[in-house]
Amino acid sequence: MSLNPPLARAARSCALFAPLIWLGLAPACLVDLDDRCGDNQHYDADQASCLCDAAYALQGAECVACPEHEVGSPSGCVCEPGYTRPDPEAACEMAGGLGDECQEDADCEDPQFSHCQLPSGEEAGYCTIADCSTSEDCQGEDYACNTRQSPSFCERPPTGLGKACSSSDDCAGFEAAYCETVSAGSCVVNDCKADPGKCHGDWVCCDIGLLSQSLCIPPGELSDGQCPAGGTLVPVEEP
């Protein structure tokens, strides 16, 4: 059965404007731009696609909740900060000794995490790995190798990093106090432009004009050394 001429013209109009629908240029096409994705998903404008929310990972065609002590990532569910897998098929367990409170190296009993890192301005330090070369040497999720200091060490992630959020109110009280809702839907560290050294480990500061924010991001999110969304990389000044 063929459409009558008015309906046919309307159908052609919606088909023509479908690629522009996110710009709101075709209000006659009945698409809810605020609800374009499926359950447990959000729209990523940079990738122009729907991605899983922070606490979910893609399995088949669905975003499935991650197990306890795991968070979602582009490569699936990974251990949350402070947890690690004894082997690839095991559940995430607290990394023994990593992050334990200490005052000196002698307080760190686990030989794998025998270095006591004393953050400036804080009384207590934490047990971690010293003399790392890259973040691959670090055991805990989101611990990252800080080579700007000597000796280099695996720096713990800021509190709240990666926590699922819908607004910055959900990140209040954490070091990662800004809710990045465009793509990650999780708490991140912002306002790093004035002090890019506040980004932990080898994470970098990107000044992203589209968001009117400067954010700390892992180096793996750079593309050929360039920040996402047309952002500008803010270099860390050498001491």
Same domain, 189 and 145: no
pLDDT band at 181 (very low <50, low <70, confident <90, very high): confident
Evaluate whether residue 91 is within a structural domain.
Answer: no
Alpha carbon of residue 91 to chain centroid: 21
pLDDT higher than threshold 80 for residue 196: yes
Same domain, 182 and 224: yes
Mean pLDDT of 58-75: 83
pLDDT, tens only, 109-125: 888 899 999 987 767 89
pLDDT, tens only, 205-218: 999 998 899 999 99
- The DSSP symbol for 42 reads E
The sign one gets for the Cα dihedral 60, 188, 185, 203 is negative
Evaluate whether residue 6 is within a structural domain.
Answer: no
pLDDT band at 81 (very low <50, low <70, confident <90, very high): low
Q: Is the peptide bond before 219 cis (omega within 30 degrees of 0)?
A: no
Name the one residue in this structure whose structure tokens are 């994705």. Answer: 37
> What residue type is assigned to position 59 of the chain?
Q
Q: Which of 155, 176, 202 is the last residue of a domain?
A: 155
Q: List beta partners, residue 206.
A: 215, 233
Cα separation values, 165 from 20, 121, 184, 207, 235, Å: 28, 29, 9, 21, 28
Same domain, 128 and 176: no
CA distance 204 to 86: 29
Evaluate whether residue 186 is within a structural domain.
Answer: yes
Asked if 147 and 202 count as a contact pair (C-beta separation under 8 A), the reply is yes
Split into its structural domains, the chain has a count of: 2
Could you give phi then psi for residue 164, rounded to 5 degrees?
Answer: -65, 140
Which of 52-56, 158-162, 167-171, 226-230 is predicted least confidently? Answer: 52-56
- Host domain of residue 217: 168-234
Evaluate whether residue 48 is within a structural domain.
Answer: no
Cα separation values, 59 from 53, 75, 182, 209, Å: 13, 10, 22, 33
Mean pLDDT of 86-110: 83
Would you say how long the chain is, in residues? 239
pLDDT band at 155 (very low <50, low <70, confident <90, very high): very high
